[in-house]
Structure 1
Amino acid sequence: MLIIYVVAFIAIFYFMAIRPQQRQRKAHQALLASLKRGDRIITAAGIYGTVKRVEENIVVVEIAKGVSMKIARRAVAEIIRDSAEARAAAPEPTPRGKGATAELESGDEEVTGQGVSEESTEASSEEPEDGQAKQ
């Protein structure tokens, strides 16, 4: 009976953890294999850029006009596709500014940005309480 539980646990672990990770790794390898000059990418660090040159393990990315950097090929997290499908799949932006409303959950307080007194701004510019001057 114990053997059945152990086998079931191993099977559940395989299908819940190992298999999805393998699928994700294969998809990332396919993404890296499809990299080419001119692709717009996002790195794992969140840097946006355009691929200028692809080598075996290095990708040269232009992050601003005239500014390029070398990154590890495996650091490419995503290729940005400009297509109608990508725009349709993107979440709709939330409204901001005047007229934008959001519902508050119970217990939440509304923050208006008003009510910042001059005392609080003056207190931040004073010397520390222990008498030492700011450096």
Structure 2
Amino acid sequence: MSSNLLVLAAAAPAAGPPGWVQILPLVAMGVIFWFLVFRPQMKRQKEHQAKIAGLQKGDRVVTAGGLIGKIVKLDDHYVDLELGPNVRVKAVRSTIGDVIPPNNAPAND
């Protein structure tokens, strides 16, 4: 009879960790992903929206396509840019990539 108990005890599976412990690595990866990817992206998006909201007539800007121009006219959705003498284009306001600070001379000059 005692040999039967030993066989049953040996065949019984050992108690493993609780089920919630298996989820911890997934939760940790989600938190790390949040701080390394989502949070910085949201911060950049807010900064870009602030730049777009603060555009003024006369600002020099760079579009997402790489065109550099001076703002001639502002609208809620569109911006008229002067790229050169007698060269004006209309761009969607959200495609403005960056505002060039005034008195910004090229590094080679």
Q: TM-score, normalised by structure 2?
A: 0.75
Deviation track 1:21-49 (CA, whole Å, cap 9, x = no partner) reads: 10000000000001010000110100010
Deviation track 1:60-89 (CA, whole Å, cap 9, x = no partner) reads: 000011111000001100100025xx67xx
Deviation track 1:75-123 (CA, whole Å, cap 9, x = no partner) reads: 100100025xx67xx8x65xxxxxxxxxxxxxxxxxxxxxxxxxxxxxx
Counting only pairs closer than 5 Å after superposition, residues 17-56 of structure 1 correspond to structure 2 as 17-56=37-76
Correspondent of 2:82 among 52, 59, 62: 62
Q: Select the structure with the greater relative contact order (CA < 8 A; seq sep ≥ 6).
A: 2
User: Structure 2: how far apart are the matches of 1:54 and 1:26?
Assistant: 20
Task: Report sequence identity in percent.
Answer: 32
**Structure 1: stretches of 5+ with no match in the other structure:** 94-135
Aligned to 2:17: none
Correspondent of 1:8 among 24, 28, 51: 28
User: Structure 2: how far apart are the matches of 1:67 and 1:2?
Assistant: 63
User: Structure 2: how far apart are the matches of 1:66 and 1:39?
Assistant: 18
User: Structure 2: how far apart are the matches of 1:63 and 1:82?
Assistant: 16
Higher strand proportion: 2
Q: Which has the larger radius of gyration?
A: 2
How many residue pairs match? The answer is 88
The alignment partner of 1:70 has SS state of strand
**Structure 2: stretches of 5+ with no match in the other structure:** 1-20
Q: Does 1:82 align with 2:77?
A: no
Higher helix proportion: 2
